Structure 1
Amino acid sequence: MHWGADGAVASPVDERDDAGYADLRSYAAIGDGRTIALIARDGRVDWLPLPEMDASPVFGALLDAENGGCIELCPDEDFTVVRSYVEHTNVLTTTFTTASGSVRVTDALNSGIAGRLPWSELARRIEGLTGSVRVRAAVRPGTCLNTVSPWVHQTAHGPVLRVDGLTLAVRTLNADEVTDGDRRIDVTFTTSPGSRHLLGLVATEREPLFLPAAEDVDRGVDRTVDNWTAWMGEFSWTGPWEDAVRRSTLLLKQLIHAASGSMVAAATTSLPESLTTSKNWDYRYAWVRDSAYALTALFRFGLREETHGAISWLLSTVRRHGPEPQVVYSLDGGLVPEATFRDVPGWRGSTPVVSGNNAAAQLQLGVFGDLFAIVSLYVEHGNVLDAETGRLLAEIADLTCDRWQSKDSGMWELPEHRHYTTSKLGAWMALTKAVELADAGQVPGDDSRWRSEAARIRSWVEENCWSAERGAYVWFPGSDQLDASIVLHAISGFDRGERMSSTLDALRDELGTGPYLHRYSGAAKEEGAFLACSFWLVSALTLCGRVDEARALMDELMATANDVGLLAEMVDPASGDFLGNLPQALSHLALVNAAITVSEAT
């Protein structure tokens, strides 16, 4: 495998298993700032929540092959596949080749003249290349994780599909036949050299449905290509691993919720981190941590609207629910609901299938550091805080002075409350940044307490969390176990000297498998390798002066992505199989920031 960022990559079609589930590596993502569709190599859309990415999946065969619903589109005979993204866009092209000819399908979640459309519009353009190919398509809404029952409703303008409050209509161009059943609409096309056809889907929720002409939906593909190309025209980056960085940035843009400015952690819920234990979570929410890492990259690339949108969303959300920041919020800035469990099979039988996330109720001290890192970065790039935000941050800094002494769940959201090393360092980073902001006149008040508490935390970590026997910072005092998240504090600047360098060696020795790192001691027995940790290690090696090692590791990691450059949360080091939700913001963010760090060091 290699990065197929903007050039066609030949690959065989993955066989689905007997239950109808595709391999996770087979998926490409398209998005419109509102929702994300996952398309397998066989042309089937197995995941599409509507109208927003955190809504129930009206097309959710990814988690329920029988009743979840999907949008099928492929030749009606055996085929091979070549696919790639249109250069500098999130528009996907798939070329199917059969014994009778070849056909190209171009998939887009369309945008409008002024940006995001006020309805959802999926366009699947079909172009005949050679010979004559019969193409079959089916639009089969599902049960939204067994909560509703879809039906076909006949109107004066043709059939529409209804799923709870959703109304969906199929638009076709140059179809041979369109038929409807009680829960689906089927379409067939026959291509010839130079022919053009369309399978389109438009949808709204609890509002009237606008029915665009099929020709307008088809033209929307070209407009969407132009819009993505124009956006990437503002992207400024030349450096190592340029194709991977560009593709990751485009995938990250899909994960930004356009209406609010928040960034979703991943497009999916309940894809397993392990095939032997139940470790399935809903990641369709906005973690403060991810926003912090995202801004580092977005500022470096000269992207203005996204950076301001993200910080405005975050600060207004913290102010609304604070003053103490939560770990995670909903995309619209609300509170995340408690986890509930759905009665569906899960991907390849992996359960539970979850909606909601209980991490929102946890104490994680790292969130204090993430918040202040975001604000500090915003100010460093020449921006100014408003007075109300300054007062809010002063209050949060005071809270940090007290809260750092508490046990918490740690970065990995564990049930055991402990004095985790990196949690304390999150508080240290918050207070260090608060002092810098006060010195810059951005945050009011007397910062003497923040200075003294930051110094106290540093001393506490140095005295209690360093193990001379292990030659490493340990997971928590009294333990001889290791935690890969310590590498973030080479990045934060806490330690880039001999102790941190020695810790990196210990991590690679105990937590490493090939180029990959597991999250903490013992994790390899119960889950895949966490991709973000591996890319964070690249940054940490660089900042500890080990640039040649960092570049070599980064080169190895470039083989991880699938044929269109997508990364999941985890990977099975033995097989290369993806594990966990995807596309995963943290994995792509860690890749991008590693590339930036190496580039700046060289």
Structure 2
Amino acid sequence: MLRAARRGDDRVWTARVGDPHLRWSGGGDASLSDVGSEVDSPGGQFTLDLDLAAGQRHDLVLELGEWPMWDDSLPVPSDTWARTERAWSDAVPDLDDTVAAHDARQAYAVLRGMTSADGGMVAAATTSLPERSEAGRNYDYRYAWIRDQCFAGQAVAAAGQHPLLDEAVRFVGARLHEDGPKLKPAYTVDGGPVPDQRTLELPGCPGGFDRLDRDGRQAAEIAVAAIAARWNEPDAGIWELDDWAWTHSRLICAAGLRRIVAVATDAAREREWTELADTILAHTTAHALHPEGHWQRALDEPGLDAALLLPAVRGLLPADDPRTRATLHAYGAQLTGDHYAYRFRHDERPLEEAEGAFLLCGFVMAPAEHHQGREVEAHRWFERDRDACGAAGLYSEEYDIAQRQLGGNLPQACVHALMPDTAATLARTPGPPS
């Protein structure tokens, strides 16, 4: 509610809206209705009628902040627009080397806006928006997930080296220095601990070049040491479920080890990290390869999971490896429909009744098909997912194909990260299977 609203001799309105103050210029002819008689009593609303001819413009400038927040000079709208455009041009790269540069820039801009000054990127800007109506427990995604920071860093690396990559590396590296092998799945955006869960009385609603500095290299070595000590322990997996021997967790560690070998500082570390990757891969192959030749969800869970496509996409195995091809074929046959992809099968219900299609999974299918050299199919997956957004171009976690609507909190950082990552990948010609 407006309080203490006044129009000055310069025809500029000032008022309070709770604690913040506002100044509104360009609306000098507005009227204010339902204002209380007391100076500090709450007021109603501004009303302004404008009659503009074709091509004519009229600038309205609203400033919000703590008092005193401004001097006597008023902002010049054209100058403010120019500064804003320059700032965004500096912050968001052109991404012209992607197959959908406009949408990739949009996704990058969303990620930029969701990243704090400390480098922590919130998983989504909202809280408690349900993935399914009447589903019960909802989630607060206004925290920084290490998983999503990695997705964002990999996306920016795929599209070119930009400051957002450095911030992701800096944030994750700092957490590794602080917590080492006890790295947590999520933190506050300034690196603090996530508070415990609590019940609220609210209803809700229905690739790249090495950019590691000294601290970054030390953080990578801390991560390698943590993998060496803990890779065989149960964990909650990429989807944060019950602790289990998840196959993806082991394979993605091996994939990361093979990539980090490229920046090893000496031959001994290169051998050590390569041997560790080989050990993890051999053990997982012996215990988590389905009799039909594809990876299975966990050592004692024979089902499929979209996450099993990621290690090959991240370079663990070549495109023509039988395990890679069998996993992609089985996943496509069992967990996708009409070019919508799902994480895993919950029960005997049809996939779309158990949960919405996961947009992240669709954006993984595209590079997985690209990896195999099937470019038409890769672009089909990309375009299907690219279209599953709202009018503002924002993606949520899930897409309900029955109701044709987004589900869950938004904008979902990991999906916005995979979008430009995939766009950059599809712009490159896939090499022959190695």
Q: Work out whether the TM-score is over 0.5.
A: yes
Is 1:334 aligned to residue 192 of structure 2? yes
SS at match of 2:17: strand
Residues 288 and 220 of structure 1: CA distance in aligned 2, closer, same or farther (over 3 Å): farther
- The number of residues matched between the two structures is 410
Alpha carbons of structure 1 residues 154 and 454: separation in structure 2 relative to 1, 3 Å: same
Given that 1:318 and 1:326 are in contact with CA atoms closer than 8 Å, whether structure 2 keeps it comes out as no
Listed one character per residue, the Cα deviations across residues 55-101 of structure 1 (whole Å, up to 9, x for unaligned) are: xxxxxxxxxxxxxxxxxxxxxxxxxxxxxxxxxxxxxxxxxxxxxxx
Instruction: Please tell me whether the aligned partners of residues 276 and 526 of structure 1 are also in contact (alpha carbons under 8 angstroms).
Output: no
Deviates further, 214-223 or 493-502: 214-223
| Distance change in 2, residues 1:221/1:547 (3 Å) | same
Query: How far, CA to CA, are the matches of 1:594 and 1:184 in structure 2?
Result: 50
Q: Quick check: 1:296 aligned with 2:119?
A: no
**Stretches (4+) displaced over 6 A:** 153-157
**2:26 matches 1:173:** yes
Change (3 A) 1:209 1:473: farther
In the alignment, the residues of structure 2 paired with residue 405 and residue 239 of structure 1 have an alpha-carbon distance, to the nearest angstrom, of 38
Measured against aligned partners, the alpha-carbon deviations of 1:328-360 in whole angstroms (never above 9, x if no partner) come to 221112222222333222124xxxxxxxxxxxx
Give 3-state SS (helix, strand or coil) of 2:370's partner.
helix
Equivalent runs, 1:117-156 vs 2, <5 Å: 140=1, 152=3
Q: Retained in 2: the 8 A contact 1:539–1:593?
A: no
Aligned residue number for residue 389 of structure 2: 561
Are residue 455 (structure 1) and residue 278 (structure 2) matched?
yes
Question: 1:95 is matched with which residue?
Answer: none
In the other structure, the counterpart of 2:228 is: 401
Question: What residue in structure 1 maps to residue 124 of structure 2?
Answer: 266
CA contact (8 A) 2:124 2:141 kept: yes
| 1:601 has 2:429 as partner | yes
1:242 to 101, 109, 125: 101
Deviations 1:346-390 (A, max 9, x none): 124xxxxxxxxxxxxxxxxxxxxxxxxxxxx6xx5253521x543
Q: Does 1:161 align with 2:5?
A: no
Structure in which a larger fraction of residues adopt strand: 1
In structure 2, what is the Cα distance between the partners aligned to 1:435 and 1:422?
A: 20
- Tell me the amino acid that sits aligned with residue 171 of structure 1: W
Paired residue for 1:588?
Answer: 416
Specify whether residues 594 and 195 from structure 1 end up closer, same or farther in structure 2 by C-alpha distance, changes over 3 A only: closer
The correspondence of residues 195-594 of structure 1 with structure 2, limited to 5 A, is 196=58, 198=60, 200-204=62-66, 208-211=67-70, 215-216=74-75, 218-219=77-78, 221-228=80-87, 230-231=89-90, 234-257=93-116, 259-322=117-180, 324-348=182-206, 381-386=209-214, 388-414=215-241, 416-438=242-264, 440-441=265-266, 446=269, 448-469=271-292, 471-495=293-317, 496=319, 497-522=321-346, 524-594=352-422
User: Could you tell me the TM-score, scaled by structure 1's length?
Assistant: 0.62
- Within 1, Cα distance between the matches of 2:387 and 2:101? 14
Counterpart amino acid of residue 176 in structure 1? A
Q: Percent identity?
A: 24
- Find the aligned partners of 2:382 and 2:343 in 1 and give their Cα distance: 18
Q: Offset at 1:221?
A: 4.9
Q: Is the 8 A contact 1:473 1:503 kept in 2?
A: yes
Query: 2: distance between equivalents of 1:213 and 1:504?
Result: 64
Residue 202 of structure 1 aligns to which amino acid in structure 2? L
Per the TM alignment, residue 455 of structure 1 is displaced from its structure 2 partner at its CA by 1.6
Q: Whole-Å Cα distance in 2 between the matches of residues 515 and 292 of structure 1?
A: 26
Q: Are 1:401 and 1:450, in contact at CA under 8 Å, matched by a contact in 2?
A: no
Paired letter, 1:315:
G
Distance 1:382 1:454 in 2: 20
Residue 202 of structure 1 contacts residue 211 of structure 1 at CA under 8 Å; is this kept in 2? no
Change (3 A) 1:400 1:272: same
Q: Give, in whole Å, the separation in 2 of the partners of 1:306 and 1:242.
A: 17
1:233 deviation in Å? 7.5
Compare relative contact order (CA 8 Å, sep 6+) and give the higher one, 1 or 2: 2
Q: Secondary structure at the match of 1:322?
A: helix
Query: Is the 8 Å Cα contact of residues 511 and 520 (structure 1) preserved in structure 2?
Result: yes
Mapped to 2, the partners of 1:250 and 1:567 lie a distance apart of: 13
Gaps of 5+ in 1: 1-139, 141-150, 349-376
Q: Describe the shift of the 1:401–1:345 C-alpha distance in structure 2 as closer, same or farther (beyond 3 A).
A: same
Amino acid paired to 2:380: A
